[in-house]
Structure 1
Amino acid sequence: MRIDYRWIPFVAFLSACTVGPNFQRPALQTPAPWPETQSTSEANRSVAVPEPVDPQWWNSFGDPVLTELVTRAMDSNLDIKVAAARLLESRAQLGQTKADELPTLNGNASYTRELQSADGVIGLLGGGGSSATDTNGLGGRQGGVPTSSAAQNALPPFNLYQYGFDASWELDLWGRVRRTTESASATVEAQNEARHDAIVSTAAEVARDYLNLRGTQEKLRITRENLAFAERTVQLTEERAKHGLATDLDVANAQSQAESNAADIPQEEQQEAKLINAIGVLLGEYPQALAAKLSPPSAVPMAPPRVPVGLSSELAHRRPDIREAEAQLHAATASIGAAKADFFPKITLSGSVAIQATQFTNLGSWGARSYSAGPSLSLPIFEGGRLRATLALREAQQQEAAITYRKTVLSAFQEVDDALTGFAAEQRRRDRLEASVQASKRALDIANKRYIRGLSNYLDVLTAQKALLTAEQQWVDSTATVSTNLVALYKALGGGWDTQDGAYAALPAKQE
């Protein structure tokens, strides 16, 4: 077979054609710098600074237990494992898609025992029936099909041995396979970013639950201290009542306050157990598995003096959900090209080489060879509108992905701005509540001394005690909220996933 090499440049040119739009990374307007959270002259407050985000931000709280929990969660959290499994699935699907770019080669071997029908097609060749026919003009003569008079069949039963190879390859003239591979590759990137997002969310959830746990334990400590104080006050009031220095109403009020404080303890203990279980689930542990480790109370970890938040222009390259939305937009764009390529002809090269013989001993002879080779053309003529509907679907999906990307970016900047504002505002509230606690302590001390001296009734003590308990609980809640708001800020900034994969970098878009 003679090959005309003049056609090779033309075929190569056609193979380089790729229909459909090329993906272009969406252009983003440079956002304004992050707002200043507060003056650096404020004492006891954390300041957001435009420095690189700490990839291991949980270490900034200075709590080794928190660091250990987050580190364990990175290895054992089930949501992260599910995201990793989906990443493996997408990589396997990419491998399936890329296989279409290469020829397929199959080996085959068979053995069959055959009997041809005497009244079938073979009868047209001059054999079969009750006697030999002359249908092909050769009945009974040389070239005619012999007749088996015993079985009245054109051919006696025979064996057929065969082995060989067959191959096929679709010429990707319009880039259908390449676009499909590009879409699958972008889907892999999207799944990888989804895994990164799971890492960020898990680290934030572990830290948030841990901080709330320490806050609950601190509130439990304050409630128990107030209960002890209320019980001592009951004893004091009862003694004074025995000597006629207090009334039964004072005793009843003191007992009511003590019982009210005691009633708060079971609820706070329940909240403590729930948070310990929540942390355990995040670490892939059964309920109460971490009770021995986390039950001993500890102070709420405080925010560091300086909180690096990076630059606003870096957010789109660091947030995994933005990167995932961009990869999904890339995949949707590539799918349009694959849909457009279906409108064009498909050319497939196929061929086979086989050895076939009716006698096993003849399989090695040169005369037993057979082969076939040639191209096949498939051209869509009428599909009932299926191809146009598919293209319209892919274009609509791309528009949806573009809108989703835009929404994801806007939501990301909103979350960061809200987190910065909330972090600064809660610090100011915490400072006011701390001053309120100090004033309430002085008021209770004064009211208690005046009551002991008989200068006021017990109602003043009761009022001061309730005010102190409320102020202390609010202060503890605010202290924990400052730290959890910082966690929310780090989550909004997208920090944490690059701990697992190294320093983040903006991945270049694939251009075809």
Structure 2
Amino acid sequence: MAASLLVTGCSVGPHYTPPHLFSPSSWFGMPRKQTTTARGRAPESVPVAAEPSPRWWDQFGDPELSALESRVASENFTVRLATIRLAESRAQVREAAGPQFPSLNGSAGYTRQQFSSKEFERGLENGISSGALGGLLGNRNTDAYRQEAGSLRIPPIDTWRDGIDASWELDLWGRVRHSVEAARATLKASAEDRRSMLVAQFAEVARDYMTLRGQQAQLAILRDNLRVARDSVRLTRARFTGGLTTELDVENAVSQLDSVAAQIPDAEQQVAVQINALGFLLGEPPQALRTELGTAAPVPPVPPRVPVGVPSELARRRPDIREAEAQLHAATANVDVAVADFYPRVTLTGAFNFEALSLRDLGFWSARAYSLGPSISLPIFQGGQLRGQLQLNQAQQQEAALSYQRTVLQAWEDVDNALTAYALQQRRRDADQRSVRSYARALSLARQQYAHGLQTFLNVLTAERGLFGAREQLATSTTQVSSDFVQLYNALGGGWETTFPEARTASR
């Protein structure tokens, strides 16, 4: 034991050092200053370098969305499966740590053995002095037994045994320690995977909620467009009755009405499908959330300021980066294990037993038997197995290193794309708002002129179609702005801090 303590520092292998992470001073896609639109109005929402809130969905100010998000961690199937995988990794750490300690096994046994006459005869010829047959003969002269060996009937022999066996491998080269290190790194990767699942499901619920509210807004627009189309039908019929226009205008107005009405069933179906999608994310059966979400509500507006933090915090906040680093750590530790397999293994073994031919003698001190001693195992020829395992682990380490670099680069790309999309989508929404106002004014003027016979109904139809399309585009861009807000926080890796605190996970 003293010798093992002296050589505990003789671990072999490359050993793990945390990789250096590049971090710029500012976000690539972050606007350097607040821009203005063509009419001098500032955008509604601007990212700022402030500490982001872990409960980012509360910034929408929508109690229904916050209530849905509060159920994700406990009810979402993907998160619950990741939690079970984390428990599996925790058990694997305990399993890998077992060889660090001596192994003790208690055993007890009873054997009833019948020897044959031929075996007894061979034993006499060879000279029996010990063992079960020796105990049967004792110190008596064997000559008489030799004469009667062929006809002698040997009674069964009972053997009783109980005791303790112990073994302990001296971890001279760090093989066991590195195995535990790899298991703990894998445990950390599982914890980060669970966090990644939670971040993704938070974002998925929020996106589906925005989509639902957007589809409900589209349905409301279609119904309002239906009302506008009915007004046009009444107007054309009144003018046709008064002889001021032809039946062609009436049929054109009716066809416009039917075209709008045909879109409503599809919109209602999309709303129902989206409610079921949210229910599935929360582990609910179909139609379970219809009462809760069936009533239409506007798309939650984005806040004026969006805290996104600083770039140096990205690696700390993104669970996928932390997971990739843990996987690199585990792969490096496995290389250490493969290198240690080339070195000798020293194992201390011992046993202490009581053995007797009768149960009543088993407890006597004279029935004791023990063994103690070290053993050494040195790999001499394994057919290339150890070399192949080392090369495999080294290749897996290189793969983990490249995967880590790719994950970090992907994270920067995700954030940059999200910041760019969030800024540009607001510009599109502002343009759609101006388009709706212009088409609404054009439709009002076209109707007035048509009512006074100054324009044909074709101009009214054109203005109606333009207004209908502009309204749908505005609803789509408004929904997309809120969805891009969700995507931004998904790229930043926010949402897991208060649900799965790092200290809580690390302490297990």
TM-score, normalization: structure 1? 0.92
The one-letter code sitting in structure 2 at the alignment partner of 1:483 is: S
Given that 1:136 and 1:144 are in contact with CA atoms closer than 8 Å, whether structure 2 keeps it comes out as: no
The one-letter code sitting in structure 1 at the alignment partner of 2:18 is: R
Segments of structure 1 that go 5 or more residues without pairing to the other structure are 1-7, 127-132, 508-512
Paired residue for 1:50? 49
Paired residue for 1:309? 308
Once the two structures are TM-superposed, the CA of residue 372 in structure 1 deviates from its matched residue by 0.9
Paired residue for 1:248? 247
Residue 17 (str. 1) matches residue 10 (str. 2):
yes
SS at 1:373's partner residue? Answer: strand
Q: 1:444 to 1:137 in 2, by over 3 A?
A: closer
1:386-465 matches, cutoff 5 A: 386-465=385-464
Give the distance between the partners of 2:259 and 2:494, measured in 1 at CA.
Answer: 43
Residue 36 (str. 1) matches residue 46 (str. 2):
no
Once the two structures are TM-superposed, the CA of residue 16 in structure 1 deviates from its matched residue by 3.1
Paired residue for 1:4? none
Given that 2:352 and 2:368 are in contact with CA atoms closer than 8 Å, whether structure 1 keeps it comes out as: yes
Q: 1:137 to 1:307 in 2, by over 3 A?
A: closer
The one-letter code sitting in structure 1 at the alignment partner of 2:366 is: G
SS at 1:500's partner residue? Answer: coil
Paired residue for 1:510? none
Give the distance between the partners of 1:333 and 1:188, measured in 2 at CA.
Answer: 15
Give the distance between the partners of 1:377 and 1:481, measured in 2 at CA.
Answer: 68
What is the Cα-based RMSD across aligned positions, in Å? 2.3
Give the distance between the partners of 2:99 and 2:396, measured in 1 at CA.
Answer: 24
Once the two structures are TM-superposed, the CA of residue 141 in structure 1 deviates from its matched residue by 9.8
Give the distance between the partners of 2:305 and 2:129, measured in 1 at CA.
Answer: 103
The one-letter code sitting in structure 1 at the alignment partner of 2:175 is: R
Paired residue for 2:210? 211
Paired residue for 1:299? 298
Once the two structures are TM-superposed, the CA of residue 243 in structure 1 deviates from its matched residue by 1.6
Paired residue for 2:20? 27
Give the distance between the partners of 2:316 and 2:151, measured in 1 at CA.
Answer: 82
Q: 1:195 to 1:344 in 2, by over 3 A?
A: same
Paired residue for 2:335? 336
Given that 2:335 and 2:394 are in contact with CA atoms closer than 8 Å, whether structure 1 keeps it comes out as: yes
Give the distance between the partners of 1:52 and 1:349, measured in 2 at CA.
Answer: 56
Give the distance between the partners of 1:134 and 1:101, measured in 2 at CA.
Answer: 47
TM-score, normalization: structure 2? 0.93
Once the two structures are TM-superposed, the CA of residue 31 in structure 1 deviates from its matched residue by 2.0
Q: 1:154 to 1:193 in 2, by over 3 A?
A: farther
SS at 1:20's partner residue? Answer: coil
Given that 1:317 and 1:505 are in contact with CA atoms closer than 8 Å, whether structure 2 keeps it comes out as: no
Segments of structure 2 that go 5 or more residues without pairing to the other structure are none
Paired residue for 2:199? 200
Q: 1:134 to 1:56 in 2, by over 3 A?
A: closer
Once the two structures are TM-superposed, the CA of residue 136 in structure 1 deviates from its matched residue by 6.4
Among all aligned residue pairs of Structure 1 and Structure 2, give the percentage whose two residues are the same amino acid: 47
Give the distance between the partners of 1:226 and 1:153, measured in 2 at CA.
Answer: 112
Once the two structures are TM-superposed, the CA of residue 364 in structure 1 deviates from its matched residue by 1.7
Q: 1:308 to 1:430 in 2, by over 3 A?
A: same
Deviations 1:274-293 (Å, cap 9, x if unpaired)?
11111000000011110111
Q: How many residues align?
A: 493
The one-letter code sitting in structure 2 at the alignment partner of 1:36 is: M
1:370-381 matches, cutoff 5 A: 370-381=369-380
Paired residue for 1:260? 259
SS at 1:455's partner residue? Answer: coil
Q: 1:364 to 1:303 in 2, by over 3 A?
A: same
Give the distance between the partners of 2:448 and 2:176, measured in 1 at CA.
Answer: 87
Q: 1:153 to 1:173 in 2, by over 3 A?
A: farther
Once the two structures are TM-superposed, the CA of residue 228 in structure 1 deviates from its matched residue by 1.2
* Farther off after superposition, 411-420 or 45-54: 45-54
Give the distance between the partners of 2:129 and 2:254, measured in 1 at CA.
Answer: 124
Give the distance between the partners of 1:25 and 1:78, measured in 2 at CA.
Answer: 33
Q: 1:123 to 1:378 in 2, by over 3 A?
A: farther
Given that 1:209 and 1:278 are in contact with CA atoms closer than 8 Å, whether structure 2 keeps it comes out as: yes
SS at 2:376's partner residue? Answer: strand
Once the two structures are TM-superposed, the CA of residue 506 in structure 1 deviates from its matched residue by 13
* Farther off after superposition, 79-88 or 226-235: 226-235
The one-letter code sitting in structure 2 at the alignment partner of 1:282 is: L
Give the distance between the partners of 2:140 and 2:201, measured in 1 at CA.
Answer: 81
Give the distance between the partners of 2:399 and 2:407, measured in 1 at CA.
Answer: 12
Paired residue for 2:321? 322
Given that 2:72 and 2:201 are in contact with CA atoms closer than 8 Å, whether structure 1 keeps it comes out as: yes
Once the two structures are TM-superposed, the CA of residue 135 in structure 1 deviates from its matched residue by 4.8
Paired residue for 2:347? 348
Give the distance between the partners of 1:161 and 1:313, measured in 2 at CA.
Answer: 69
Give the distance between the partners of 2:128 and 2:239, measured in 1 at CA.
Answer: 133
* Farther off after superposition, 337-346 or 186-195: 337-346
* Farther off after superposition, 202-211 or 32-41: 32-41
* Farther off after superposition, 276-285 or 373-382: 373-382
Give the distance between the partners of 1:232 and 1:11, measured in 2 at CA.
Answer: 94
Given that 1:318 and 1:504 are in contact with CA atoms closer than 8 Å, whether structure 2 keeps it comes out as: no
SS at 1:218's partner residue? Answer: helix
Q: 1:231 to 1:118 in 2, by over 3 A?
A: same
The one-letter code sitting in structure 2 at the alignment partner of 1:25 is: P
Give the distance between the partners of 1:503 and 1:368, measured in 2 at CA.
Answer: 56
Once the two structures are TM-superposed, the CA of residue 381 in structure 1 deviates from its matched residue by 1.1
SS at 1:289's partner residue? Answer: coil
